[in-house]
Amino acid sequence: MRKIREMVRLAATGLSPRQIAVSVDCALSTVQGCLRRIAAARLTWPLPESLDDVALEQQLYPRKVSVLDTPLPDFAHVQRELARPGVTRQLLWEEYRDQHSAGLGYSAFCEHYRDWLAQHVDPVMRFEHLAGDKCFIDYAGHTASVIDRATGEIRQAQIFIATLGCSNYTFAEATESQSLPDWLGSHVRAFEFFGGVPGACVPDNLKSGITHPHRYDPELNRAYADLAQHYAITILPARVRKPRDKAKVENAVQVVERWILAKLRDRQFFSLTELNAAIADLLVEYNQRAFQKMEGSRHSRFIELDRPALKPLPARPYEYATWKSARVFLDYHIEIAHAYYSVPFEHIHAQVDVRLTARMIEIFLNNTLIATHIRSYHRGARMTNPAHRPEKHCAVIDHGIDWTIAQGQRIGEPVAEVLRREFKRKKHPEEALRGAKGILRMADDHSPDKLIAACEQALRFGCFGYRNVLALIKAPSTESGTDATSPGQLPLLHDNVRGPDFYN
C-alpha cells in the first residue's frame, strides 16, 4: 500500500507512468494497472486521512463474493467431533461429502474451518516462561504393563511426567498407582533428576494433591502442602477443565506416549525397576533430540537456562508422612497405631495433630510442635519423655524406685536384686512399681527369711515379678526351708498364668 500511495502522489505531480515505474521500482504494466484502478475509484492526492491501508485495498482490489449452491458444514459439530478419540478432519469431510456430493473440496473444507475457528474460539495466550520458574506435572493417559513373575498377573503402571517450562526438559517414571505416596515420591525423584527445585509446580487437580479444587483458592492435601513447605516451592494447580494452563506438560505427555511408551509397547517387563530403566534410557534420547524449530535440544537449553536458575535441593529429601488427629489422655499420652506417646501434661484433653513418618512421630497443637518421639512399632509400647510429667509424678516415680530398692536392701540383697531386675524388665517404671511394693509386703505377710529364700530361687530360675515370687514363697520347698532343685517342682511360673489358687 505504501507504493500505491506514492503512485497517487506522483501521478498528481504530472509524471508519466514510465517515470513513476522507475521511481517506485515497479514494472510499467503494474503501474499502469494501479493507475487505472485509482482512476476507477476516483481517488486523488492527497488521500483522505480516514482511508487506511485496509480500506484502500478494499477500494482498489475488492474481493469477489462467491455464493455456494451447497450449504457449508456445521463447523460447531465438526469441532465437537474432533475432540473425540480417533476422529480426523478427513473423516468428517468424507461424511460431509456423502451428504453433499457437490460440496466443498477437502482443502476448502479445512480453510473454511480455520476461518470459523478464528471467529468462534478464544485466542490462545502464549506464556513466556522464566528459567527455573515453573515445573508442569501430570500423568500420561496411557499406561504400561508390568507382569508379576509369580502369578502372571498383569498390572498397569501409571506414568508420571514433569516438564520444566523454560527448557522443556522432561522427567518421566512409572509408578504403581496415582496414590498419595507415589505422587509425592515422584515429585522427590523429579527434583533429584533436575538437580534442583523450581519456584513453583503446576499440577492437575488430582485428588492425591488437591483436596478441594477451586478457581481462586484451591485446598492442597496436607501431605502435599508439607512437601511444598519442605522444598520451599509454590503449588499453582491448573484450573479445572483448563488444560492450556499446563500446555507444556500436555505436549510432553503426548510426546512421551509417542517416543517412549510406543517404542516399549512390544516389550515385557516383570518389575517397575525394569520398566523405569527402559524409560530412563529413552528419556535421555528424547531430551537430547534436536528441536525442529529452534536451535539446540531440551538438554542443552536445560544446561544453559534452567539448571543455573533452580534452587538447591535441601540437605535431606522429603519423607512421606501421614497426618492423624488424637486426644491427650489423663496420663498425658496419646495413642497412635496401638502405641502411646507422651506430650506435656499441660495439654491433657487437648485435640492434637500428629505427623507420622517411618521413623518419627511429631505432635502439633494449633500448628505448634509440642512433642517428638522415635516411632515404635511394638503394640502397647509407651514412649515417655520425663520432661512431660508433672513435678509430683517425677517425685513419685524416681524417688519411689530408689526408696523401694533401698527397702529391699534392708531385707536382704536377693530381694533388692529381684526388684532391680523387675524394674529393668518392665517397659515402664510405673508398671513395675506396684508389683515391687507387693513383693516387699510379703516380708510382713510371711517372713523376711522366706522372702529372701524365694528371691534367691527367683534369681536362680530367672523368674521375676510379683506372682512368681509369691508362687515361690508358697512352694513346699520354701515352706520347709529347703531349696527346690528345678523349676519343674514348682507351680507354672508366668505373668499371664493365674495358677491353681485362683480357682479356690
Task: Please report which confidence band the pLDDT of residue 201 belongs to, taking 50, 70 and 90 as the band edges.
Answer: confident
Q: Is 325 exposed, middle or buried (0-12, 13-18, 19+ CB in 10 A)?
A: exposed
Task: Please report which confidence band the pLDDT of residue 198 belongs to, taking 50, 70 and 90 as the band edges.
Answer: very high
Residues 407 and 440 sit within 8 Å (Cβ to Cβ):
yes
Question: Phi and psi dihedrals of 348, rounded to 5?
Answer: -55, 135
Q: Do both 412 and 486 map to the same domain?
A: yes
- Within a domain: 484: yes
- Within a domain: 68: no
- Within a domain: 448: yes
Residues 227 and 235 sit within 8 Å (Cβ to Cβ):
no
Q: Do both 251 and 145 map to the same domain?
A: yes
Task: Please report which confidence band the pLDDT of residue 318 belongs to, taking 50, 70 and 90 as the band edges.
Answer: confident
Close Cβ partners of 303 (under 8 Å, ≥ 6 residues apart): none
| The residue type at 313 | L
CA 318 to centroid of chain Cα atoms: 11
| Domain count along the chain | 5
Residue that finishes a domain, picked among 334, 364, 385: 385
Task: Please report which confidence band the pLDDT of residue 128 belongs to, taking 50, 70 and 90 as the band edges.
Answer: low
- Within a domain: 315: no
For residues 7-20, one letter each, b for 16 or more C-beta atoms within 10 angstroms of the residue's C-beta and e for the rest, the string is: bbebbeeeeebeeb
pLDDT of the residue at 362: 92
- pLDDT tens digits for 28-70? 888 888 888 888 888 788 877 777 777 777 777 776 545 445 6
Rounded to 5°, the CA angle 68-70-74 comes to 105
Q: Do both 142 and 268 map to the same domain?
A: yes
Q: Do both 353 and 233 map to the same domain?
A: no
Give the structural domain span for 96: 75-120
Percent of the chain with pLDDT over 70: 81
Work out the mean pLDDT of the chain and round it to a whole number.
81
Q: Do both 91 and 214 map to the same domain?
A: no
> What CATH number did the domain enclosing 149 receive?
3.30.420.10
- pLDDT tens digits for 92-105? 999 998 888 888 88
Q: Do both 96 and 45 map to the same domain?
A: no
240: left (phi over 0), alpha (psi -120 to 50) or beta: beta
pLDDT of the residue at 189: 94
- Within a domain: 69: no
Nearest to 162 by CA among 204, 214, 223, 220: 204
pLDDT of the residue at 278: 93
Task: Please report which confidence band the pLDDT of residue 150 belongs to, taking 50, 70 and 90 as the band edges.
Answer: confident
Q: Do both 216 and 268 map to the same domain?
A: yes
Is the pLDDT assigned to residue 156 strictly greater than 70?
A: yes
- Within a domain: 317: no
CA 20 to centroid of chain Cα atoms: 71
Q: Do both 342 and 370 map to the same domain?
A: yes
- Within a domain: 457: yes
Q: Do both 56 and 81 map to the same domain?
A: no
Q: Do both 145 and 254 map to the same domain?
A: yes
Is the pLDDT assigned to residue 478 strictly greater than 80?
A: no
Task: Please report which confidence band the pLDDT of residue 124 belongs to, taking 50, 70 and 90 as the band edges.
Answer: very low
Q: Do both 301 and 159 map to the same domain?
A: yes
For residues 398-411, one letter each, b for 16 or more C-beta atoms within 10 angstroms of the residue's C-beta and e for the rest, the string is: eeebeebbebbeeb
Residue that finishes a domain, picked among 29, 60, 91: 60
- Within a domain: 475: yes
Q: Do both 299 and 240 map to the same domain?
A: yes
Distance CA 187, CA 227 (A): 9
pLDDT of the residue at 192: 94
Kindly list the distances between the CA atom of residue 24 and the CA atoms of 13, 32, 368, 391, in Å, as whole numbers in the listed order.
Answer: 14, 13, 80, 103
CA 189 to centroid of chain Cα atoms: 11
